[in-house]
Structure 1
Protein backbone atom coordinates (compact mmCIF):
# COMPACT_ATOMS: atom_id res chain seq x y z
CA UNK A 1 0.00 0.00 0.00
CA UNK A 2 1.25 3.45 -0.88
CA UNK A 3 -1.18 6.30 -0.32
CA UNK A 4 -0.70 9.77 -1.78
CA UNK A 5 -2.80 12.29 0.17
CA UNK A 6 -3.46 15.89 -0.89
CA UNK A 7 -5.70 18.62 0.51
CA UNK A 8 -6.18 22.21 -0.65
CA UNK A 9 -9.52 22.94 1.01
CA UNK A 10 -7.93 25.33 3.52
CA UNK A 11 -5.05 27.84 3.22
CA UNK A 12 -2.70 24.87 3.78
CA UNK A 13 -1.42 23.21 0.61
CA UNK A 14 -0.56 19.84 2.09
CA UNK A 15 0.77 16.54 0.69
CA UNK A 16 1.83 13.26 2.28
CA UNK A 17 2.85 9.69 1.43
CA UNK A 18 1.85 6.81 3.69
CA UNK A 19 2.84 3.15 3.29
CA UNK A 20 0.03 1.75 5.43
CA UNK A 21 2.17 1.73 8.56
CA UNK A 22 3.64 5.22 8.78
CA UNK A 23 4.05 8.52 7.00
CA UNK A 24 7.04 8.37 4.65
CA UNK A 25 7.18 12.06 3.80
CA UNK A 26 4.98 15.13 4.14
CA UNK A 27 4.98 18.82 3.31
CA UNK A 28 2.63 21.70 4.05
CA UNK A 29 2.71 25.35 3.01
CA UNK A 30 0.14 27.90 4.16
CA UNK A 31 -0.79 30.30 1.38
CA UNK A 32 -4.46 30.86 0.54
CA UNK A 33 -3.71 32.38 -2.88
CA UNK A 34 -1.20 29.93 -4.43
CA UNK A 35 -2.77 26.47 -4.27
CA UNK A 36 -2.35 25.86 -7.99
CA UNK A 37 1.25 27.05 -7.97
CA UNK A 38 2.37 25.13 -4.88
CA UNK A 39 0.67 21.74 -5.08
CA UNK A 40 2.53 19.90 -7.87
CA UNK A 41 6.02 20.99 -6.72
CA UNK A 42 5.06 19.80 -3.22
CA UNK A 43 4.07 16.40 -4.63
CA UNK A 44 7.43 16.17 -6.41
CA UNK A 45 9.34 17.02 -3.24
CA UNK A 46 7.39 14.52 -1.15
CA UNK A 47 8.00 11.75 -3.69
CA UNK A 48 11.69 12.66 -3.80
CA UNK A 49 12.01 12.71 -0.02
CA UNK A 50 10.41 9.25 0.18
CA UNK A 51 12.56 7.95 -2.67
CA UNK A 52 9.63 6.61 -4.69
CA UNK A 53 8.16 7.24 -8.12
CA UNK A 54 4.63 8.45 -8.71
CA UNK A 55 3.73 5.18 -10.47
CA UNK A 56 4.31 3.32 -7.18
CA UNK A 57 1.23 4.98 -5.65
CA UNK A 58 -1.64 2.52 -5.12
CA UNK A 59 -4.36 4.93 -3.94
CA UNK A 60 -4.96 8.67 -3.89
CA UNK A 61 -6.66 10.31 -0.90
CA UNK A 62 -8.04 13.82 -1.28
CA UNK A 63 -9.69 16.26 1.08
CA UNK A 64 -13.07 17.19 -0.40
CA UNK A 65 -13.74 20.16 1.87
CA UNK A 66 -15.77 22.00 2.85
CA UNK A 67 -13.68 24.83 1.52
CA UNK A 68 -13.66 27.85 -0.77
CA UNK A 69 -14.28 27.12 -4.43
CA UNK A 70 -10.96 28.07 -6.02
CA UNK A 71 -8.57 26.37 -3.62
CA UNK A 72 -10.65 23.24 -3.14
CA UNK A 73 -10.92 22.38 -6.82
CA UNK A 74 -7.10 22.48 -7.26
CA UNK A 75 -6.59 19.46 -5.01
CA UNK A 76 -9.55 17.56 -6.38
CA UNK A 77 -8.64 18.01 -10.03
CA UNK A 78 -5.03 17.04 -9.28
CA UNK A 79 -6.09 13.94 -7.35
CA UNK A 80 -8.50 12.84 -10.09
CA UNK A 81 -5.83 13.39 -12.75
CA UNK A 82 -3.34 11.25 -10.82
CA UNK A 83 -5.96 8.56 -10.30
CA UNK A 84 -6.83 8.47 -13.98
CA UNK A 85 -3.20 8.45 -15.13
CA UNK A 86 -2.16 5.75 -12.68
CA UNK A 87 -5.35 3.69 -12.86
CA UNK A 88 -5.75 3.72 -9.06
CA UNK A 89 -8.71 4.53 -6.78
CA UNK A 90 -9.28 8.11 -5.65
CA UNK A 91 -11.00 8.32 -2.26
CA UNK A 92 -12.38 11.49 -0.72
CA UNK A 93 -12.34 12.38 2.95
CA UNK A 94 -13.98 15.33 4.66
CA UNK A 95 -11.28 17.90 5.42
CA UNK A 96 -12.78 18.45 8.87
CA UNK A 97 -12.34 14.73 9.59
CA UNK A 98 -8.60 15.06 8.97
CA UNK A 99 -8.34 17.88 11.50
CA UNK A 100 -10.42 15.93 13.99
CA UNK A 101 -8.16 12.90 13.62
CA UNK A 102 -5.04 15.04 14.04
CA UNK A 103 -6.44 16.63 17.22
CA UNK A 104 -6.58 13.27 18.99
CA UNK A 105 -8.81 14.57 21.78
CA UNK A 106 -10.23 12.11 24.29
CA UNK A 107 -13.42 14.13 24.77
CA UNK A 108 -16.26 15.42 22.56
CA UNK A 109 -15.21 18.46 20.53
CA UNK A 110 -15.83 20.43 17.35
CA UNK A 111 -13.72 21.38 14.34
CA UNK A 112 -14.05 24.77 12.65
CA UNK A 113 -12.16 26.14 9.64
CA UNK A 114 -12.24 29.62 8.15
CA UNK A 115 -15.04 29.94 5.59
CA UNK A 116 -14.40 33.66 4.99
CA UNK A 117 -17.33 36.12 4.94
CA UNK A 118 -17.06 36.02 8.79
CA UNK A 119 -18.28 32.39 8.77
CA UNK A 120 -16.82 28.99 9.66
CA UNK A 121 -17.15 25.49 8.28
CA UNK A 122 -17.75 23.22 11.24
CA UNK A 123 -18.85 19.83 12.59
CA UNK A 124 -19.07 18.09 15.97
CA UNK A 125 -17.15 14.92 16.86
CA UNK A 126 -17.20 12.23 19.50
CA UNK A 127 -14.05 11.57 21.50
CA UNK A 128 -11.14 10.35 19.42
CA UNK A 129 -12.26 12.15 16.28
CA UNK A 130 -13.24 9.08 14.25
CA UNK A 131 -16.99 9.63 14.71
CA UNK A 132 -18.54 12.77 13.24
CA UNK A 133 -21.83 13.57 14.99
CA UNK A 134 -23.13 16.24 12.59
CA UNK A 135 -22.94 16.91 8.87
CA UNK A 136 -20.48 19.65 7.88
CA UNK A 137 -22.15 23.06 7.91
CA UNK A 138 -21.32 26.72 7.37
CA UNK A 139 -22.50 29.36 9.85
CA UNK A 140 -21.56 32.59 11.60
CA UNK A 141 -19.67 31.87 14.83
CA UNK A 142 -22.17 33.77 16.99
CA UNK A 143 -25.01 31.64 15.60
CA UNK A 144 -23.44 28.35 16.75
CA UNK A 145 -21.62 29.50 19.89
CA UNK A 146 -24.39 28.24 22.16
CA UNK A 147 -24.56 24.86 20.40
CA UNK A 148 -20.80 24.38 20.88
CA UNK A 149 -20.62 25.87 24.37
CA UNK A 150 -18.28 23.95 26.63
CA UNK A 151 -16.62 22.08 23.75
CA UNK A 152 -13.03 22.49 22.58
CA UNK A 153 -13.02 23.85 19.02
CA UNK A 154 -10.11 22.72 16.86
CA UNK A 155 -8.83 24.58 13.81
CA UNK A 156 -8.36 28.07 12.40
CA UNK A 157 -12.07 28.86 12.67
CA UNK A 158 -11.96 28.48 16.42
CA UNK A 159 -8.80 30.50 16.79
CA UNK A 160 -10.17 33.34 14.64
CA UNK A 161 -13.25 33.86 16.82
CA UNK A 162 -12.25 33.49 20.49
CA UNK A 163 -15.37 35.31 21.72
CA UNK A 164 -17.58 32.60 20.25
CA UNK A 165 -15.16 29.72 20.88
CA UNK A 166 -13.25 30.40 24.12
CA UNK A 167 -11.69 26.91 24.20
CA UNK A 168 -10.02 27.09 20.78
CA UNK A 169 -7.19 24.64 20.11
CA UNK A 170 -4.76 23.44 17.46
CA UNK A 171 -3.90 22.12 15.07
CA UNK A 172 -4.75 25.27 13.19
CA UNK A 173 -4.35 23.92 9.66
CA UNK A 174 -5.10 20.72 7.81
CA UNK A 175 -2.37 18.09 7.48
CA UNK A 176 -2.23 15.56 4.65
CA UNK A 177 -0.19 13.36 6.97
CA UNK A 178 -3.18 13.09 9.31
CA UNK A 179 -5.53 12.58 6.36
CA UNK A 180 -3.33 9.77 5.02
CA UNK A 181 -3.01 8.14 8.44
CA UNK A 182 -6.79 8.24 8.89
CA UNK A 183 -7.32 6.68 5.45
CA UNK A 184 -4.72 3.97 6.09
CA UNK A 185 -6.38 3.11 9.40
CA UNK A 186 -9.81 2.90 7.77
CA UNK A 187 -8.52 0.72 4.91
CA UNK A 188 -6.74 -1.62 7.33
CA UNK A 189 -10.02 -2.05 9.23
CA UNK A 190 -12.02 -2.55 6.03
CA UNK A 191 -14.09 0.49 6.97
CA UNK A 192 -15.24 2.32 3.85
CA UNK A 193 -18.09 4.20 5.53
CA UNK A 194 -16.14 7.42 6.00
CA UNK A 195 -14.86 7.74 2.45
CA UNK A 196 -16.66 10.17 0.16
CA UNK A 197 -16.81 10.54 -3.61
CA UNK A 198 -13.98 12.78 -4.85
CA UNK A 199 -16.29 15.71 -5.56
CA UNK A 200 -16.18 19.12 -3.88
CA UNK A 201 -18.15 19.81 -0.72
CA UNK A 202 -18.82 23.52 -1.16
CA UNK A 203 -21.86 24.10 1.13
CA UNK A 204 -22.51 27.46 -0.54
CA UNK A 205 -22.29 29.19 -3.91
CA UNK A 206 -18.91 30.48 -5.21
CA UNK A 207 -17.84 34.01 -4.27
CA UNK A 208 -17.76 35.02 -7.94
CA UNK A 209 -21.20 36.05 -9.21
CA UNK A 210 -22.58 37.34 -12.50
CA UNK A 211 -22.95 41.14 -12.14
CA UNK A 212 -26.47 42.47 -11.72
CA UNK A 213 -28.04 44.14 -14.75
CA UNK A 214 -25.61 42.23 -16.92
CA UNK A 215 -26.11 43.26 -20.54
CA UNK A 216 -25.98 40.46 -23.08
CA UNK A 217 -24.53 41.59 -26.41
CA UNK A 218 -25.50 39.45 -29.38
CA UNK A 219 -24.16 39.80 -32.91
CA UNK A 220 -26.35 41.64 -35.41
Structure 2
Protein backbone atom coordinates (compact mmCIF):
# COMPACT_ATOMS: atom_id res chain seq x y z
CA UNK A 1 0.00 0.00 0.00
CA UNK A 2 1.22 3.48 -0.85
CA UNK A 3 -1.15 6.37 -0.17
CA UNK A 4 -0.67 9.82 -1.68
CA UNK A 5 -2.70 12.35 0.34
CA UNK A 6 -3.34 15.94 -0.77
CA UNK A 7 -5.47 18.74 0.64
CA UNK A 8 -5.99 22.34 -0.50
CA UNK A 9 -9.20 23.14 1.40
CA UNK A 10 -7.45 25.57 3.76
CA UNK A 11 -4.66 28.10 3.08
CA UNK A 12 -2.24 25.17 3.53
CA UNK A 13 -1.11 23.27 0.45
CA UNK A 14 -0.25 19.93 1.99
CA UNK A 15 0.96 16.56 0.67
CA UNK A 16 1.94 13.30 2.38
CA UNK A 17 2.99 9.80 1.41
CA UNK A 18 1.99 6.89 3.66
CA UNK A 19 2.89 3.20 3.29
CA UNK A 20 0.02 1.88 5.42
CA UNK A 21 2.14 1.84 8.55
CA UNK A 22 3.68 5.29 8.78
CA UNK A 23 4.13 8.60 6.98
CA UNK A 24 7.18 8.38 4.73
CA UNK A 25 7.40 12.08 3.82
CA UNK A 26 5.22 15.16 3.98
CA UNK A 27 5.19 18.85 3.14
CA UNK A 28 3.00 21.83 3.94
CA UNK A 29 3.16 25.38 2.62
CA UNK A 30 0.67 28.01 3.75
CA UNK A 31 -0.31 30.44 1.01
CA UNK A 32 -3.99 31.00 0.26
CA UNK A 33 -3.33 32.41 -3.22
CA UNK A 34 -0.88 29.88 -4.70
CA UNK A 35 -2.50 26.46 -4.40
CA UNK A 36 -2.17 25.72 -8.11
CA UNK A 37 1.44 26.84 -8.23
CA UNK A 38 2.59 24.97 -5.14
CA UNK A 39 0.82 21.60 -5.20
CA UNK A 40 2.56 19.66 -8.00
CA UNK A 41 6.12 20.68 -6.98
CA UNK A 42 5.23 19.61 -3.42
CA UNK A 43 4.14 16.19 -4.69
CA UNK A 44 7.44 15.83 -6.55
CA UNK A 45 9.48 16.74 -3.47
CA UNK A 46 7.56 14.39 -1.18
CA UNK A 47 8.01 11.47 -3.58
CA UNK A 48 11.72 12.28 -3.93
CA UNK A 49 12.29 12.45 -0.16
CA UNK A 50 10.51 9.11 0.29
CA UNK A 51 12.50 7.54 -2.55
CA UNK A 52 9.31 6.45 -4.32
CA UNK A 53 7.95 7.03 -7.81
CA UNK A 54 4.47 8.23 -8.63
CA UNK A 55 3.59 4.98 -10.38
CA UNK A 56 4.07 3.12 -7.08
CA UNK A 57 1.05 4.91 -5.55
CA UNK A 58 -1.88 2.55 -4.94
CA UNK A 59 -4.46 4.99 -3.51
CA UNK A 60 -4.99 8.74 -3.76
CA UNK A 61 -6.57 10.43 -0.74
CA UNK A 62 -7.97 13.94 -1.10
CA UNK A 63 -9.57 16.41 1.28
CA UNK A 64 -12.95 17.36 -0.20
CA UNK A 65 -13.54 20.39 2.00
CA UNK A 66 -15.50 22.31 2.95
CA UNK A 67 -13.31 25.06 1.61
CA UNK A 68 -13.20 28.07 -0.69
CA UNK A 69 -14.00 27.30 -4.32
CA UNK A 70 -10.71 28.16 -6.02
CA UNK A 71 -8.30 26.47 -3.62
CA UNK A 72 -10.42 23.38 -3.06
CA UNK A 73 -10.78 22.51 -6.74
CA UNK A 74 -6.97 22.51 -7.20
CA UNK A 75 -6.50 19.54 -4.87
CA UNK A 76 -9.52 17.65 -6.19
CA UNK A 77 -8.61 18.13 -9.85
CA UNK A 78 -5.03 17.05 -9.17
CA UNK A 79 -6.12 13.97 -7.21
CA UNK A 80 -8.59 12.90 -9.89
CA UNK A 81 -5.97 13.39 -12.60
CA UNK A 82 -3.47 11.22 -10.71
CA UNK A 83 -6.12 8.58 -10.13
CA UNK A 84 -7.06 8.47 -13.80
CA UNK A 85 -3.45 8.39 -15.00
CA UNK A 86 -2.41 5.69 -12.54
CA UNK A 87 -5.63 3.68 -12.64
CA UNK A 88 -5.97 3.75 -8.85
CA UNK A 89 -8.87 4.67 -6.52
CA UNK A 90 -9.35 8.27 -5.43
CA UNK A 91 -10.96 8.45 -1.98
CA UNK A 92 -12.34 11.58 -0.37
CA UNK A 93 -12.24 12.62 3.27
CA UNK A 94 -13.85 15.62 4.93
CA UNK A 95 -11.04 18.12 5.50
CA UNK A 96 -12.48 18.98 8.91
CA UNK A 97 -12.03 15.31 9.86
CA UNK A 98 -8.33 15.59 9.07
CA UNK A 99 -7.96 18.57 11.40
CA UNK A 100 -9.93 16.76 14.09
CA UNK A 101 -7.70 13.69 13.77
CA UNK A 102 -4.57 15.84 13.98
CA UNK A 103 -5.81 17.44 17.22
CA UNK A 104 -5.80 14.12 19.08
CA UNK A 105 -8.49 15.40 21.44
CA UNK A 106 -10.39 12.67 23.29
CA UNK A 107 -13.34 14.74 24.51
CA UNK A 108 -15.98 16.87 22.76
CA UNK A 109 -14.71 19.74 20.63
CA UNK A 110 -15.39 21.75 17.47
CA UNK A 111 -13.35 22.23 14.30
CA UNK A 112 -13.71 25.63 12.62
CA UNK A 113 -11.86 26.85 9.53
CA UNK A 114 -11.94 30.18 7.72
CA UNK A 115 -14.81 30.39 5.23
CA UNK A 116 -14.15 34.08 4.46
CA UNK A 117 -17.08 36.56 4.38
CA UNK A 118 -16.73 36.64 8.21
CA UNK A 119 -17.96 33.02 8.40
CA UNK A 120 -16.47 29.66 9.38
CA UNK A 121 -16.83 26.11 8.14
CA UNK A 122 -17.39 23.95 11.20
CA UNK A 123 -18.49 20.63 12.68
CA UNK A 124 -18.77 19.18 16.17
CA UNK A 125 -16.86 16.07 17.31
CA UNK A 126 -17.17 13.58 20.16
CA UNK A 127 -13.44 12.82 19.87
CA UNK A 128 -10.73 13.05 17.22
CA UNK A 129 -12.19 10.12 15.26
CA UNK A 130 -15.93 10.76 15.61
CA UNK A 131 -17.82 13.60 13.94
CA UNK A 132 -21.28 14.30 15.39
CA UNK A 133 -22.66 16.86 12.91
CA UNK A 134 -22.56 17.48 9.20
CA UNK A 135 -20.19 20.23 8.06
CA UNK A 136 -21.87 23.64 7.97
CA UNK A 137 -21.05 27.29 7.36
CA UNK A 138 -22.14 30.01 9.81
CA UNK A 139 -21.10 33.29 11.40
CA UNK A 140 -18.99 32.84 14.54
CA UNK A 141 -21.36 34.94 16.68
CA UNK A 142 -24.18 32.53 15.82
CA UNK A 143 -22.07 29.61 17.09
CA UNK A 144 -20.66 31.13 20.27
CA UNK A 145 -23.43 29.87 22.53
CA UNK A 146 -23.57 26.43 20.88
CA UNK A 147 -19.81 25.99 21.25
CA UNK A 148 -19.50 27.51 24.72
CA UNK A 149 -17.09 25.59 26.93
CA UNK A 150 -15.71 23.51 24.05
CA UNK A 151 -12.19 23.63 22.61
CA UNK A 152 -12.18 24.82 19.00
CA UNK A 153 -9.55 23.51 16.58
CA UNK A 154 -8.52 25.39 13.45
CA UNK A 155 -8.01 28.87 12.06
CA UNK A 156 -11.62 29.81 12.79
CA UNK A 157 -10.82 29.87 16.49
CA UNK A 158 -7.79 32.13 16.13
CA UNK A 159 -9.60 34.49 13.76
CA UNK A 160 -12.61 34.92 16.05
CA UNK A 161 -11.38 34.67 19.66
CA UNK A 162 -14.45 36.41 21.07
CA UNK A 163 -16.68 33.60 19.80
CA UNK A 164 -14.13 30.81 20.37
CA UNK A 165 -11.97 31.62 23.40
CA UNK A 166 -10.52 28.10 23.79
CA UNK A 167 -8.50 27.86 20.59
CA UNK A 168 -6.50 24.69 19.91
CA UNK A 169 -4.11 23.56 17.19
CA UNK A 170 -3.51 22.71 14.50
CA UNK A 171 -4.58 25.87 12.70
CA UNK A 172 -4.50 24.43 9.17
CA UNK A 173 -4.76 21.02 7.55
CA UNK A 174 -1.90 18.52 7.45
CA UNK A 175 -1.86 15.75 4.85
CA UNK A 176 -0.01 13.59 7.39
CA UNK A 177 -3.14 13.46 9.54
CA UNK A 178 -5.34 12.90 6.50
CA UNK A 179 -3.13 10.02 5.38
CA UNK A 180 -3.06 8.48 8.87
CA UNK A 181 -6.85 8.69 9.06
CA UNK A 182 -7.20 7.15 5.61
CA UNK A 183 -4.84 4.28 6.44
CA UNK A 184 -6.79 3.60 9.63
CA UNK A 185 -10.11 3.55 7.78
CA UNK A 186 -8.77 1.34 5.00
CA UNK A 187 -7.48 -1.15 7.57
CA UNK A 188 -10.79 -1.15 9.43
CA UNK A 189 -13.15 -1.05 6.48
CA UNK A 190 -14.19 2.54 7.23
CA UNK A 191 -16.15 4.77 4.90
CA UNK A 192 -14.86 7.39 2.47
CA UNK A 193 -16.53 10.17 0.52
CA UNK A 194 -16.72 10.54 -3.23
CA UNK A 195 -13.96 12.87 -4.48
CA UNK A 196 -16.38 15.73 -5.08
CA UNK A 197 -16.06 19.27 -3.68
CA UNK A 198 -17.96 20.14 -0.53
CA UNK A 199 -18.54 23.85 -1.08
CA UNK A 200 -21.60 24.48 1.18
CA UNK A 201 -22.28 27.77 -0.60
CA UNK A 202 -22.02 29.44 -3.98
CA UNK A 203 -18.59 30.67 -5.19
CA UNK A 204 -17.60 34.30 -4.62
CA UNK A 205 -17.42 34.99 -8.36
CA UNK A 206 -20.89 35.60 -9.81
CA UNK A 207 -22.19 36.59 -13.21
CA UNK A 208 -23.46 40.21 -12.95
CA UNK A 209 -27.24 40.41 -12.71
CA UNK A 210 -27.53 42.85 -15.62
CA UNK A 211 -25.11 40.94 -17.82
CA UNK A 212 -26.22 41.00 -21.46
CA UNK A 213 -25.51 37.98 -23.64
CA UNK A 214 -24.29 38.98 -27.08
CA UNK A 215 -24.86 36.45 -29.83
CA UNK A 216 -23.78 36.74 -33.46
CA UNK A 217 -26.51 37.73 -35.91
2:37 aligns with 37
- Kindly state the Cα deviation for residue 188 of structure 1 after the two structures are TM-superposed: 1.0
TM-score by length of 1: 0.97
Q: For residue 67 of structure 2, give the secondary structure of its aligned residue in structure 1.
A: coil
TM-score by length of 2: 0.99
CA deviation string 1:5-30 (max 9, x = no partner): 00001100000000011000000000
Which of 205, 208, 212 is equivalent to 1:211? 208
1:161 aligns with 160
- Kindly state the Cα deviation for residue 190 of structure 1 after the two structures are TM-superposed: 1.7
CA deviation string 1:185-220 (max 9, x = no partner): 1111122x2x10000000000000011211222223
Q: For residue 16 of structure 2, give the secondary structure of its aligned residue in structure 1.
A: strand
CA deviation string 1:106-160 (max 9, x = no partner): 2100000000000000000012x11100000000000111111110000001110
- Report which stretch shifted further, 39-48 or 209-218: 209-218
Mapped partners of 2:200, 2:132: distance in 1? 17
Mapped partners of 2:211, 2:88: distance in 1? 44
Equivalenced residue count is: 217
TM superposition outliers: structure 1 runs of 4+ over 3 Å: none
Mapped partners of 1:170, 1:53: distance in 2? 32
Does residue 201 in structure 1 map to residue 198 in structure 2? yes
Gaps of 5+ in 1: none
Mapped partners of 2:207, 2:75: distance in 1? 25
Structure 1 residues 42-81: aligned runs within 5 Å = 42-81=42-81
Structure 1 vs Structure 2 CA RMSD? 0.6
Mapped partners of 2:130, 2:214: distance in 1? 53
Mapped partners of 2:34, 2:201: distance in 1? 22
